[in-house]
Structure 1
Amino acid sequence: MMKNKIFKNSIATAILLFTVAGFSQNKSSNTVSLDVFYSKIQSEKKPQIIDARGPEEFALNHINGAINFNLESKDYAAQVAKLDKSKPVFTYSIGAGRSVWLADDLLKKGFKEAYSLEGGIANWIGNGKPFYANSKSKLTLAEYKKIIAENKDVLVDIGSIYCGACKKVKPVLETIKAQYGSNLKIVEIDLEDSPQVIADLKTVKVFPTLILYKDGKIVFKKEGLGDLKNDVDVALAVK
């Protein structure tokens, strides 16, 4: 399938995934918060912003002004050569994996400054920063609010089809659906389909983000899967 295309049949991919796994355990010192990342970009006349995701992901949505290349790019070295080593480089990915690798690699190559965005594109769009999307969101904020208002219990799953952690949520949601049926409304929002509603909510920092509403009020908001099934059972058991 297209969403897995860039992660198959490549020795470089295996190296990348190993490296990303390492960074997920040890946060790079070059990973900065959204506020710092945004502030530094704003201070540059022509900021060097690099989207470290795959080309399919980049085509669907990206930070305004960003260009796309990463370890998988055939012309990686040529792309790096076009950058100004004396100026900061700002990298991001779906979270902070591929972008961490890229920022660190640029520093090794002699760049003065390179920063990776904590939370990646999820954090950027999820907090309403300016971005490009190639299509209109399928779900609007007004429609979202209507769903919350018209259903007693609502579980919202916000993520991306390119997010590995988000894929682990899906079978858990199926188990929850089977147990609660029509008593629990489940809403799945993907970045690729509805980026604007994610931006309008201004509550997402990472993918996946899971929110449980009861009578229009938030019962819990989880960043990451955790023990979702148990958390839902406990929350809905409360009278």
Structure 2
Amino acid sequence: MKNTSLKNSLTAIAFFIAIAVFSQNKSQNTLPLDVFYSKIQAEKNPQIIDARGPEEFALNHLLGAVNFNLESKDYAEKIAKLDKNRPVFTYSIGAGRSVWLAEDLLKKGFKEAYSLEGGIANWIGNGKPFFANSKSKLTLAEYNKIISDNKTVLVDIGSVYCGACKKVKPVLETIKAQYGSNLKIVEIDLEDNTQVIADLKTIKVFPTLILYQNGKIILKKEGFENLKNEIDVALASK
């Protein structure tokens, strides 16, 4: 009985140590935008990997990035072309595929591998340089006019490739049904409006919801949880 208890205790201790190590590695290797950007700037020819799918990469990406992830058929061939002694910078739509990729590179002997906190949403959303294969359908001037011409506006900023962004859509339908013409809802996707998202210089993650009233922001929310309740509370207090 004592041996069993001791074994269970040791197992529990090992489990918590593993969690602590994982959390520490994640915090060390997932960098905030300013640090990530500074490290890239310090490299003559930075090794940047876009860990999204090829369709996403074709629409927009960081300048100088190459595209592959853990599921790519030529993954081994791709990483063989990288210099293990130089840092590698990874990013995705948020911080999922890029985190896994950075961790795998470290396991394979790379000295430094970093993922970008907030992913490409954070990069483009704060005006860092990028490539886009088309112009935004909406300009910043047009965006500002929508805000000024309508008393109450809810802006949904995200991406068609963002899982959490898809969960916002039914919530928006419920909000639209409740408020009708009293609330204008504007949906802005990265794929169609890359430049206006960059020009706003205020987006860190997808989705981001911004509620305006009389031209002023009364609520800015990252994520979709409790969205309707927070909208209701914000509008009721005005």
Residue 94 of structure 1 is matched in structure 2 by 93
**Unaligned 5+ residue runs, structure 1?**
1-21
Task: Give, in whole Å, the separation in 2 of the partners of 1:196 and 1:59.
Answer: 16
Letter of the 2:104 partner, please give it: D
Partner in structure 1 of residue 166 of structure 2: 167
4+ residue runs of structure 1 moved beyond 6 angstroms?
none
Could you tell me which residue of structure 1 aligns to residue 41 of structure 2? 42
Give the Å deviation of 1:235. 1.5
C-alpha distance in 1, partners of 2:145/2:50? 34
RMSD: 1.3
User: Which structure would you say has the larger Rg?
Assistant: 2
What is the aligned partner in structure 2 of residue 119 from structure 1? 118
Structure-1 separation of matches of 2:225 and 2:53 = 27
Partner of 1:200: 199
Using the alignment, how far apart are the partners of 1:236 and 1:89 within structure 2?
45
Structure 1 residue 236, shift from structure 2 partner: 1.5
Post-superposition shift, 1:226?
2.0
Equivalent residue letter for 2:55: E
Identity %: 82
How far does the alpha carbon of each residue in 1:67-115 deviate from its partner, in whole angstroms, 9 at most, with x for none?
Answer: 0000121100000000000100000000000000000100000001000
Q: Distance in 2 between matches of 1:64 and 1:183?
A: 41
The secondary structure found in structure 2 opposite 1:198 is: helix
Which one-letter code corresponds to 1:211 in the other structure? I
**What's 2:30 paired with?**
31
> Aligned-pair distance for 1:38?
0.3
Aligned match of 1:67: 66
Q: Which residue of 2 aligns with 1:6?
A: none
* Superposition pairs of residues 115-194 of structure 1, within 5 angstroms: 115-194=114-193
Query: What code does the residue aligned with 1:196 have?
Result: Q
Partners of 1:85 and 1:232 in 2: CA distance: 48
In the alignment, the residues of structure 1 paired with residue 73 and residue 117 of structure 2 have an alpha-carbon distance, to the nearest angstrom, of 26
Deviates more, 1:198-207 or 1:227-236: 227-236
Q: SS at the partner of 1:206? A: coil
TM (normalized to structure 1)?
0.88
Q: Which one-letter code corresponds to 2:231 in the other structure?
A: V
Amino acid at match of 2:174: T
The question of 1:107 aligning with 2:101 is answered: no
Instruction: Kindly state the Cα deviation for residue 144 of structure 1 after the two structures are TM-superposed.
Output: 0.3
Q: Distance in 1 between matches of 2:205 and 2:76?
A: 30
3-state DSSP of counterpart to 2:186? strand
1:232: which partner in 2?
231
What is the aligned residue count? 216
Q: Structure 2: which 5+ runs fail to align?
A: 1-18
Q: Report the TM-score, using the length of structure 2 for normalisation.
A: 0.89
Q: Deviations over 1:119-161 (max 9, x none)?
A: 0000000000000001000011000000000000000000000
Look up the match of 1:222.
221
Between the aligned partners of 1:101 and 1:72, the Cα distance in structure 2 is: 11
The residue matched to 2:98 in structure 1 has which SS? Answer: helix
Cα deviation, residue 65, structure 1: 0.5
DSSP-derived class of the 1:168 partner: helix
Tell me by how many angstroms 1:234 deviates: 1.3
SS of match in other structure, 1:200: helix
